[in-house]
């Protein structure tokens, strides 16, 4: 008391100033102000009279506040609540089901693996046939070119006709060859491969090769056309000059394309200088870890939810189905994100690095999609660029409307999706087809949002519609349907429902 009363002070300015420091929201200033004050200006009188409320000011969340405060802390809180909420669900799951993961109780039968491998080795045979077809076409083109040069005349109408009739034969030969490959694979997978994972891998490989061969045929047709009938000013891309037609018709060129992480054939691709093996190792480690993660998540978390939903679907108990759907949506979303990263980032990058394939743009930032159209354009660029180059653009070029061209693309895509999902699960129930096909009206609905001039509002709404329709309802609904169909065909409702009877 004595000390306080005998000390001098800087007076009212300081008393007020102190109150102002308190009012300024700044961690640094706030913490140190009492200590600093006490050091610079020792004891002062009238401490209890300081005007804490020195001016009129609004609360920082009020509309009259000058600037909205930062809400970064709430973003952190959201992450924490998500982690905590799911941690709790994990504890609950463990208490309810115990550990469902089991290394030895897989059901990969020897027969499935051998059949899958046989189908895998069927593919090079079909590719070799495709190579022979192109080789014959190239030989014929070389002859035509020689004739034209010898005659020293421009390409005649007869030449054009001959080119076209050759193309018809080549196209049919390719179609028969590769569709036979796909048909054999599909038949064997549907009737003779029980395990859906082996079936999916085999079927996917056949579909990819089918698409690649079509690209190979189309591209070589146009290259051949350019070779025989060069149009002034309309050159093939400069990139291809290092390997002009027909030099690209070699088996090694085709095998590279078979393995390359793209569906679009080019005689030449941008290549990197060397293989960074450390990069490859890291990407493969990611693939491994994410695969284990997906396996654990599926066995421990997704399977019980799927199993528990069976009787609810059977009795059409709508609120309970909805509850199951919502519970499934989180785990299916996590599995989907992990699968996307494992396949499109880790696996394709590793593959591209080993093949020194330069263009790694396998996806764009689809998570920011403001419409479903943007999503389909960005999440899977190999497929998007394929359909754009070989179906959409040629159709539009021939006078089809963009709408009709899009319809063609999505119809083919829907059919391929149904083949990829329905065949390995032995249930062609059309959900995958419809799921893909119904994207068109959804895209039409969300397209205006993308172009809206509402600033961020429309884009936010578009992004939310995308997430909700796709990950919250679309994916888990399809998973539920195929699981239900699978159970109806093979399974009994049991905890280990994925196991064969």
Residues that are catalytic? 417
For its own copies, the closer CB: 262 or 425: 262
Least gap, CB of 169 to its own copies (angstroms): 16
For its own copies, the closer CB: 186 or 220: 220
Least gap, CB of 102 to its own copies (angstroms): 22
User: What is the distance in angstroms between the CA of the first residue and the CA of the last residue of the chain?
Assistant: 88
CA of residue 385 relative to chain centroid, distance: 14
Q: Please give, one letter per residue, the 3-state secondary structure of 178-218.
A: HHHHHHHHHHHHHHHCCCHHHHHHHHHHHHHHHHHHHHHHH
For its own copies, the closer CB: 295 or 340: 340
Distance CA 414, CA 394 (A): 20
Q: Where are the alpha helices (DSSP H) in 98-195?
A: 110-151, 157-192
Give yes or no for a contact between 501 and 491, defined as CB atoms under 8 angstroms apart: yes
Least gap, CB of 364 to its own copies (angstroms): 4
The phi, psi pair for 193, rounded to 5°, reads -110, 115
Cβ within 8 Å of residue 94, ≥6 positions away: none
Least gap, CB of 5 to its own copies (angstroms): 8
Least gap, CB of 23 to its own copies (angstroms): 6
For its own copies, the closer CB: 115 or 349: 349
For its own copies, the closer CB: 118 or 468: 468
The phi, psi pair for 283, rounded to 5°, reads -65, -40
The phi, psi pair for 305, rounded to 5°, reads -65, -45
For its own copies, the closer CB: 194 or 344: 344
* DSSP secondary structure, 22-38, as one string: HHS--HHHHHHHHHHHH
Least gap, CB of 184 to its own copies (angstroms): 27
For its own copies, the closer CB: 101 or 239: 239
* CA quadruple 325, 202, 272, 342: dihedral, nearest 10: 30
Least gap, CB of 314 to its own copies (angstroms): 18
For the stretch 8-11, contacts whose Cβ atoms lie closer than 8 Å and that sit 24 or more positions apart, written own/partner, are 8/44, 9/41, 9/43, 9/44, 9/45, 10/41, 10/44
Distance CA 108, CA 132 (A): 36
Give yes or no for a contact between 395 and 412, defined as CB atoms under 8 angstroms apart: no
The phi, psi pair for 225, rounded to 5°, reads -60, -45
């Amino acid at each position: 008391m004595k000390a306080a009363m005998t000390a001098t002070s800087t007076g009212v300015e300081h008393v007020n100033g102190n109150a102002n420091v308190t009012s300024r929201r700044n961690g640094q200033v706030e913490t140190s102000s009492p200590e600093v004050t006490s050091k610079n200006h020792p004891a002062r009188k009238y401490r209890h009279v300081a005007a804490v409320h020195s001016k009129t000011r609004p609360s920082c969340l009020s509309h009259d506040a000058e600037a909205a405060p930062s809400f970064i802390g709430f973003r952190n809180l959201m992450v924490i609540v998500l982690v905590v909420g799911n941690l709790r669900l994990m504890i609950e799951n463990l208490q309810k089901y115990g550990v469902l993961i089991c290394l030895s109780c897989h059901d990969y039968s020897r027969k499935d693996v051998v059949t899958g491998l046989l189908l895998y080795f069927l593919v090079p045979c079909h590719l070799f046939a495709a190579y022979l077809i192109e080789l014959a076409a190239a030989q014929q083109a070389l002859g035509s070119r020689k004739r034209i040069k010898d005659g020293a005349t421009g390409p005649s109408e007869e030449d054009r006709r001959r080119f076209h009739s050759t193309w018809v034969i080549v196209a049919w030969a390719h179609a028969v060859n590769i569709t036979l490959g796909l048909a054999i694979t599909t038949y064997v997978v549907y009737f003779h491969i029980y395990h859906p994972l082996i079936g999916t891998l085999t079927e996917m490989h056949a579909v990819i090769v089918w698409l690649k061969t079509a690209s190979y045929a189309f591209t070589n047709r146009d290259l051949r056309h350019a070779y025989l009938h060069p149009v002034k000013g309309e050159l093939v891309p400069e990139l291809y000059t290092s390997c002009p037609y027909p030099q690209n018709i070699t088996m090694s060129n085709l095998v590279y394309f078979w393995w390359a992480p793209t569906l679009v054939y080019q005689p030449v691709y941008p290549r990197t200088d060397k293989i960074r093996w450390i990069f490859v190792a890291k990407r493969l480690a990611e693939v491994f870890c994410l695969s284990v993660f997906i396996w654990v998540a599926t066995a421990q978390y997704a399977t019980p939810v799927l199993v528990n939903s069976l009787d609810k679907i059977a009795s059409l108990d709508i609120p309970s189905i909805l509850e199951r759907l919502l519970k499934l949506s989180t785990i299916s979303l996590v599995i989907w994100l992990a699968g996307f990263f494992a396949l499109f980032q880790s696996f394709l990058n590793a593959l591209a690095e080993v093949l020194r394939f330069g263009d790694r743009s396998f996806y764009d930032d689809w998570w920011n999609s403001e419409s479903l159209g943007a999503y389909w354009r960005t999440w899977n660029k190999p497929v998007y660029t394929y359909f754009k180059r070989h179906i959409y653009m040629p159709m539009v070029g021939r006078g089809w409307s963009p709408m009709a061209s899009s319809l063609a693309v999505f119809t083919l895509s829907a059919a391929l999706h149904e083949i990829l999902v329905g065949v390995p699960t032995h249930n062609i129930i059309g959900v995958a087809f419809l799921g893909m096909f119904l994207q068109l009206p959804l895209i039409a609905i969300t397209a205006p949002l993308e172009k809206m001039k509402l600033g961020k509002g429309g884009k936010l709404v578009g992004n939310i519609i995308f997430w909700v329709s796709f990950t919250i309802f679309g994916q888990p609904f399809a998973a539920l349907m195929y699981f239900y169909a699978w159970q109806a065909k093979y399974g009994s409702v049991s905890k280990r429902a994925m196991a064969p009877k």
